[in-house]
Amino acid sequence: MPSIPTVMTAVGISAPGGPEVLVPETRPVPQPGEGEILVRVRAAGVNRPDVAQRKGHYPPPPGATDIPGLELAGVVAACGPGTSRFNPGDSVMALVVGGAYAQYCTAHESHALPVPGGLTAVEAAAVPETFMTVWHNVFERGGLRSGETLLVHGGTSGIGTTAIQLAKAFGARVIATAGSAEKCDACVALGADIAVNYHDQDFVAVTKKAGGANVILDMVGGDYIARNYEAAAPDGRIVQIAFLGSSKATVDFMRLMLKRLTHTGSTLRSRSTADKAAIARAVEAHAWPLLASGTVRPVMDMVFPLRDAAKAHARMESSVHIGKIVLDVEG
**Do 65 and 146 have their domain in common?**
no
Cβ atoms within 10 A of the Cβ of 270, count?
Answer: 12
CB distance 261 to 238 below 8 Å: yes
Q: State pLDDT tens for residues 82-122.
A: 999 999 999 999 999 999 999 999 999 999 999 998 899 99
Domain boundary among 237, 265, 293: 265
For residue 100, the domain's CATH number is: 3.90.180.10
Range of the domain at 82: 7-127+270-328
**Do 117 and 140 have their domain in common?**
no
CB distance 291 to 297 below 8 Å: yes
Number of domains the chain is built from: 2
What is d(CA 151, CA 174) in angstroms, rounded to the nearest whole number? 6
Residue 149 has pLDDT above 90, yes or no: yes
In a domain, 2, yes or no: no
Give Cα 43 to chain centroid, integer Å. Answer: 15
**Do 121 and 134 have their domain in common?**
no
Q: State pLDDT tens for residues 179-226.
A: 999 999 999 999 999 999 999 999 999 999 999 999 999 999 999 999
pTM of the model: 0.95
Q: What DSSP string describes 77-126?
A: EEE-TT--S--TT-EEEEE-SS--SBSEEEEEGGGEEEPPTT--HHHHTT
**Do 61 and 42 have their domain in common?**
yes
Q: 300: part of which helix (H) or strand (E)?
A: strand 300-305
Share of the chain above pLDDT 70, in %: 100
For residue 199, the domain's CATH number is: 3.40.50.720
